[in-house]
Amino acid sequence: MIKDLLRGQRIETPSWAYGNSGTRFKVFAQQGVPRDPYEKLADAAQVHAFTGIAPTVALHIPWDRVDDYAALARHARDLGVAVGAINSNVFQDDDYKLGSVTHPDPVVRRKALGHLLECVDIMDATGSDTLKLWFSDGTNYPGQDDIRARQDRLAEALAAVYERLGDDQRFLLEYKLFEPAFYVTDVPDWGTAYAHCLKLGDKAQVVVDTGHHAPGTNIEFIVAFLLRERKLGGFDFNSRFYADDDLMVGAADPFQLFRIMFEVIGGGGYGPHVAFMLDQCHNIEPKIPGQIRSVMNVQEATAKALLVDREALAAAQRAGDVLGANAVLMDAYNTDVRPLLGELREEMGLDPDPMAAYARSGYFEKIAAERVGGAQAGWGA
């Protein structure tokens, strides 16, 4: 039973995790980094080949811009993966200094909306059903712009994108407390994202990036609430010690990831209608192993969450047995699920140890030798 549920797990890796990334202080280049979206897909296919549960890859436009998106989607299929969410980018153009869809100048707003609609065209061309919208829009000083007017502009753009979506398509609106804006961020929290999506309809849902909250935020509460409202569209999984650190999911706080997956499973969110996406940057560690480890971290947290004895938990909760209820959850969390997952991988025809199997495969040595010359992919920031 639990193995069947784990066998059906689907985690989406981000194309940008395979490219160079860093901080404002330094972007460290690495050997063998892809030079184009085709090579990024090839690396993502390795993560699926060794974990068996990472069959889709999120793209980011323009970082993954190509002449023929249908050909790119075919290339993905030939590699055994598929194009997942299309991520818009209205945060790197000089015109967007004061905002994109919320900019005071309607000319800039129209340009930003044009990009969002282009991303829907790319969904049509690649067969993707999900558009992920994150806006860096915000202000840095009180008085810089009118908070309410910016919300009106945002709502207008979201309505236009919503209108353009096909019947089987949806968009996920991402919120973030701050950065790059440091006074007001126009979509700063789940409530703002939820309110905008509620007004629009079922094709608009909220994505929870686990690095986008104020310290101390109970993220699993947000997850439980959004699931109850049928407004949880997906996750951008990563982890952090301080701010939007974009570290490997589960690395900084594996217990939080377990609590999140516990609420996902309990709230009916463990299924194809919720996108489990990674959104990470491997600034210093090797990228493909970093993604394999991240997928395994989500898998381990999921296995532990599936092990929770929910009947015993419900009984303890009904009885007001605080310690008993907590113990039921901690028993599952403290269970070593690695032997179970090793068995599952063997039953799936995979090596029980994906990290060791990838290291033995020689793939890194191959790409390090082949990918010489050309411009390594990155954020281009």
Residues that bind Mn ion in the complex, under the rule CB under 5 A: 209, 236, 279
159-178 residues in contact with ligand LRH (CB under 6 A) are 174, 176
Residue 31 phi/psi, 5-degree rounding, is -65, 145
Q: How far apart are CA 245 and CA 143, in angstroms?
A: 29
User: One-letter amino acid identity for 150?
Assistant: R
Which is nearest to 354 in space by CA: 118, 22, 47? Answer: 47
244 binds, among ligand LRH, Mn ion, none (CB under 5 to 8 A by kind): ligand LRH
Q: Is 39 in the site for ligand LRH (CB under 6 A)?
A: no
Residue 209: CB minimum distance to ligand LRH, A: 5
Q: Omega of the bond prior to 34 within 30 degrees of 0, cis?
A: no
Instruction: Write down the number of H helices and E strands in the chain.
Output: 14, 10
Residue 263 interface partner, choices Mn ion, ligand LRH, none, CB cut-off 5-8 Å depending on type:
none
With CB under 5 to 8 Å by kind, the binding choice for 145 among Mn ion, ligand LRH, none is none
Which does residue 190 bind out of Mn ion, ligand LRH, none, counting CB within 5 to 8 angstroms by kind? none
Q: How far is the CB of 313 from Mn ion (least distance, A)?
A: 31
Report the alpha-carbon distance of residue 154 to residue 221 in Å, rounded: 26
Nearer to Mn ion, 145 or 236 (CB): 236
Among Mn ion, ligand LRH, none, the one that 39 touches (CB under a kind-dependent 5 to 8 A) is none
Pair 173, 206: CB distance under 8 Å: yes
How crowded is the C-beta side of 22, counted as CA atoms within 13 Å?
13
3-state secondary structure of 267: coil
Residue 7: CB minimum distance to ligand LRH, A: 28
Closest residue to ligand LRH: CB criterion? 134
Nearest to 245 by CA among 255, 235, 237: 237
Q: What token pair was written down for 67?
A: 């002449």
What is the Cα–Cα distance from 160 to 293, expressed in whole angstroms?
Answer: 39
Least distance from C-beta 281 to Mn ion, angstroms?
11
Q: Is 186 in the site for ligand LRH (CB under 6 A)?
A: no
- The answer to whether 244 contacts ligand LRH (rule: CB under 6 A) is yes
Report which DSSP code applies to 20. B
Nearest to 172 by CA among 195, 138, 150, 197: 197
Q: Are 292 and 47 in contact (CB under 8 A)?
A: yes
What mask, x for binding ligand LRH by CB under 6 A, covers residues 3 to 32? -------------x----------------
From the list Mn ion, ligand LRH, none, pick the one residue 176 interacts with, judged by a Cβ distance below 5 to 8 Å according to partner type.
ligand LRH
Nearer CB in complex with ligand LRH: 42/58 = 58
Provide the residue count of the chain.
Answer: 381
- Considering only residues 217 to 236 of the shown chain, the ones binding ligand LRH according to CB under 6 A are 236
210 touching ligand LRH, by CB under 6 A = no
Q: Is 209 in the site for ligand LRH (CB under 6 A)?
A: yes
64 or 279: CB nearest Mn ion: 279
DSSP 90-110: -SSSGGGTT-STT-SSHHHHH
> Contact letters (x/-) for ligand LRH, 247-276, by CB under 6 A?
------------------------------
Residues 64 to 93 in contact with ligand LRH, rule: CB under 6 A: 87
Q: Which residues contact 32 (CB under 8 A, 6 or more apart)?
A: 364, 367, 368, 370, 371
Q: How far is the CB of 84 from Mn ion (least distance, A)?
A: 13
Q: Which chain residues interact with ligand LRH by CB under 6 A? A: 16, 87, 134, 174, 176, 209, 236, 244, 279
